[in-house]
Structure 1
Amino acid sequence: MTTGMNFWDTQVWSFIITMTLLLGAMILANIMRNTIPLIRKLMIPSSVLGGFLLLFVDFLLDKLVGVKLINATTLEMLTYHGLGLGFVAMALRRIDKKQDKKSKTGSFDTGVTVVANYLIQAIFGLIITVALYYVLDSFWASGLLLPMGYGQGPGQAYNWGHNYELTYGFENGTSFGLTVAAMGFVSASIGGVIYLNVLRRKGIFKGDIGRDVTDENLTAESITGGDEIPLTESMDKFTVQLALVFISYVAAFLFMMGIDKIVQTGALGNFGFNTVRPLVWGFNFLISTIFALLLKAVLRGLKKKGVIKREYTNDFMQNRIAGFMFDVMVVASIAAIRLSAFAHHEFIIPLALICVVGAVITYFYLLIICKRVFPLYEHEAFLSLYGMLTGTASTGIILLREKDSKFETQASDNLVYQQTWAILFGFPMLLLLGYAPQSVSKSIITLIVLTVLFIIMNIILFRRNIFKKKKK
């Protein structure tokens, strides 16, 4: 009697085939970017274009022969875990922060700017969807998916769209969130091209939009440090990096599972089920980041005590892991969109409105902020922030590279070092994500609180103008 699986069963190959389709779509998209000038000038990332290609092919196959190209559950799983694993890899890097006062101020102001943009996106998103609830009977809190999709990206858009769908009955909420994130990438490309063309007319920008990057400037020191573990020993160095990432992620899972067990006891009442559980599982990336930092601290402590002799983490490899995870997350998130949801007017009208308004509001708000808060590198700050606050950090880097190809301004550093401040100031907003969808009245209360927080963030941003000393 034989047991186990047969190697020719489809289930044995399904995940491999899914990954091949995702990676193959990105390679095809990358070839299209490099060979078709129009696509290159639009500056759409290969992962985004690859996701749209898969979405289109899946739609055709479904309509023509009734076959789905990829299992939607697998795509959603990759989106969810890609976000968490990518953040863990970034947290495990050993990046030395600049110590000059100017750099610290820039990262602080950038973090506050990021939170202020989340808030203004949430405010306008909620105004639109609460109003449409009375007209179309659409889901009143769906506007909060605007900062999740535009500001945070596909991972968070999926997490909260899925949560709203399961917990609060928001039909097609998962696709709504993912579509907002996908439209964010389009907005980043369109807005970035418009801004660069405005700079060209003013004579500030003279380069070619979408030009190829040829200088990597890689050195042996940038790939591996002298005090790190060898590249190949009894265990490959890259295997060690992956092990550290997954250990941190599973430790976070065990912590989240422990919190969930407490919620299941009913000790926290409805607050536990309606607020705590969605927050814990929705912010897997944040909890995972904390455990990655704890693991990094443990390794640092063991080295100081002489228990281990070398550094186990490698920045170059962790960057590659993070890049891979985020690429897979983006391409999977777009391919996971259910196009059937677009047949419902209560889905497409709110979606179209918040995406267009979100792009316009973000564009013009950042014009004001960057001119006043970042006067020394106004244009570089705008490109990096607009790209990040409609797409992801990588989209911001793509736009920034057009104006500052060698990253000579502080704008690129700000994207890295702003995260601590953004988490600190943005935490109150995170709590509201599980509160607003409980009822229309609670969404209106949330809108008022968001407005107050937005005013506070702007007072902090413009503190130099508001509280400047009068010259005698």
Structure 2
Amino acid sequence: MIWISLLLCLATFLRSRIKILQTFLVPASLIGGILGFICVNLGIVGMPTMEGWQPIPTKVFSVMTFHLFAFGFVGVGLMKSKETNTSKLMFRGGLWMALMYCFIWSVQGIIGKSVFELWHMTVGGDFDSCLGYLLGCGFAQGPGQAHAYGSIWETTYHVGNAMSMGLASAAMGFVVAVVIGVPLAYTGIRRGWISGEHKGSLPEFFLRGIMKKGDNPACAKATTHSATIDSFAFHLALMGVVYGLAYTFGLYWTLFMPAGVNGLGFGLLYTWGMCLAMLTRFVLNKTGSSHILDGDTVRRITNTSVDFMVCAVFLAISVSELQSVLMPFLIAVILAALATLVLIMWYARRAPEYNFERGIACFGCYTGTVATGMLLLRIVDPEFESPAAIELGIMNVIILLLSQPLTVGYPFIPSEACPMFLIMVGYVVVVPIAMYMLKLVKKVAW
């Protein structure tokens, strides 16, 4: 935690001083993560002990990534859902994004699997070609889920380096989102691809990453008296209790469920945490006690876990563990990045409304997380005048239904009976047809 904290502080300082980092809107967590990746693979990351300086293995940061991700989902479950305008236009936009999500995830997975399989057949190598599927998961779903699936594969099916591969895929996804996404956003502004009168100008504090003196908006409200317990401490303690219950549930699942599915106990810890958090909020609502939860405080704790998690992702990657798959991995990353860019832009040009705003938000989301999608959207739509930001929220609800074959099947990919390749091919074939039938593909707009 001290190493991650040090890297985040250093990264925040660098972002506030270095122009190119501001131009590309590189998040502090990503800057710190890249610096940490260099340090950990040079053997610099360690700690002083009574026996002298001891290196910290990358597996420690892998475990931290896993728990930070799952803990963040407790916050997601506790957060009060905001009322959103689900008008026909925004529902159509959310549906467009959700269909694109399933389509792009499948394309990325097919590319990853195909590259790894072809490399294994032609060049050889001591690795399982199913690792290629983690590229799509890392790009489309982010580090937490990629690590969760990787841990299931390692513990249940003994697939070597699956967790490292999942984390590496997610880390490269963040890099792709920034390196390609930011120039793409500015290109859209210069060429007039954006809708309305958005100027794309960003305030100085947004670029530097540090607020001006005296310009400090409130970020939370107290729900307990500090003489009893600090409000932040109470929220953190409640989330800790819920996470403890989720961990216990995952442990019992692992111990008592049959082989083949017992790996889901800890692999889906984030799901158990979110469900128990939603149950907690439901009980608080029914008992008239929901006022003790402040949504902004929960959101800050959740965002904090995400920042620490993204930084930890890079520290968890060991180059030595990825040597056997390094070349096919890099080839797959480049091909997947190009395919994601071309396909999203092709469909964005033909989207019913707010073409570029939806496209840039999707690109950031499907190579990183929703946070990177919002980051890129902020460039072209600084005041969020378009409905694209709300549509990202609607998209996440629709995805729960549309992506079930993918999310349910991913833990079982290493088993011989899992038809994941055919499932992905099915999405690649069916989604474009569905988009045409639903009139989500129009004439070229730009």
TM-score (norm 2): 0.86
- In the alignment, what sits opposite 2:362? 385
Shift of residue 106, structure 1, vs aligned partner? 3.0
Specify the alignment match of 2:49 in structure 1.
none
Aligned counterpart for 1:112 among listed residues 91, 94, 99: 99
Separation (CA, whole Å) in 1 of partners of 2:108 and 2:167: 16
In the alignment, is residue 407 of structure 1 matched against residue 384 of structure 2? Answer: yes
Question: Which piece of structure 1 moves more, 205-214 or 171-180?
Answer: 205-214
Match of 1:16 in 2: none
Cα distance between partner residues in 2 of 1:453 and 1:419 = 18
Please list, as runs of the form range in 1=range in 2, the aligned pairs for 1:59-458 lying within 5 A after superposition: 59-61=41-43, 69-102=55-88, 103-135=90-122, 136-137=124-125, 138-204=127-193, 207=200, 212-213=205-206, 223-224=220-221, 229-230=223-224, 232=226, 234-263=228-257, 272-274=258-260, 276-303=261-288, 308=289, 311-342=291-322, 344=323, 346-373=324-351, 375-439=352-416, 442=417, 445-458=419-432
3-state SS, counterpart of residue 433 of structure 1: helix
Cα deviation, residue 187, structure 1 = 0.5
- Alignment CA distance shift 1:134-1:95 (3 Å): same
- For residues 466 and 391 of structure 1, the distance between their equivalents in structure 2, rounded to whole angstroms, comes to 24
How far apart are residue 463 of structure 1 and its match? 3.1
> How far, CA to CA, are the matches of 1:68 and 1:407 in structure 2?
48
* Paired residue secondary structure (2:291): coil
Which structure features the higher share of helix residues?
1
Whether the 8 Å CA contact 1:41–1:209 is kept in 2: the answer is no
Is the contact made by 2:139 and 2:170 (CA closer than 8 Å) also made in structure 1? yes
User: SS in structure 2 opposite 1:273?
Assistant: coil
| In structure 2, distance between residues paired with 1:67 and 1:371 | 56
Letter in 2 for 1:458: P
Counterpart in the other structure of 1:7: none
User: What amino acid is the match of 1:253?
Assistant: Y
Distance 1:256 1:383 in 2: 37
d(CA) in 2 for partners of 1:58, 1:210? 35
Q: Distance in 2 between matches of 1:286 and 1:325?
A: 16
Structure number with greater Rg is 1
Q: 1:467: how far off?
A: 11
* Structure 1 residues 58 and 68: CA distance shift in structure 2, 3 A: farther
- Classify 1:114/1:287 alpha carbon distance in 2 versus 1 (closer, same or farther; 3 Å): farther
Secondary structure of 2:397 counterpart = helix
Decide whether aligned partners of structure 1 residues 96 and 201 sit closer, same or farther in structure 2, where only a CA change above 3 A counts: closer
Root-mean-square deviation (CA, aligned residues, Å) is 3.0
- Deviation readout 1:217-246 (Å, 9 max, x if unpaired): 9876x744xxx8345352222222213322
| Cα distance in structure 2, aligned partners of 1:372 and 1:298 | 45
> Is the aligned partner of 1:52 residue 2:46?
no
Cα pair distance change 1:230/1:209, threshold 3 Å = closer
Contact 1:62 1:68 in 2 (8 A): no
Change (3 A) 1:372 1:91: farther
Residue 22 (structure 2) pairs with residue 40 (structure 1): yes
How many Å apart are 1:84 and its aligned residue? 0.9
Q: Could you tell me whether the CA contact under 8 Å between 1:188 and 1:387 is conserved in 2?
A: yes
Judging changes above 3 Å, is the alpha-carbon distance between structure 1 residues 431 and 98 closer, same or farther for their aligned structure 2 residues? closer
Partners in 2 of 1:459 and 1:281 — Cα distance?
Answer: 37
Partner of 2:435: 461
State whether residues 178 and 337 of structure 1, in contact with CA within 8 Å, keep that contact through their aligned partners in structure 2: yes
Which segments of 5 or more consecutive residues in structure 1 lack a partner in the other structure?
1-18, 264-271
> 1:257 Cα shift?
2.5
Aligned residues between the structures:
426
Give me the whole-angstrom Cα distance separating, in 1, the residues matched to 2:238 and 2:98.
28
Give the structure-1-normalised TM-score: 0.82
Identity %, equivalent residues: 25
**Cα contact 2:186–2:380 (8 A) shared by 1:** no
3-state DSSP of counterpart to 1:84: helix
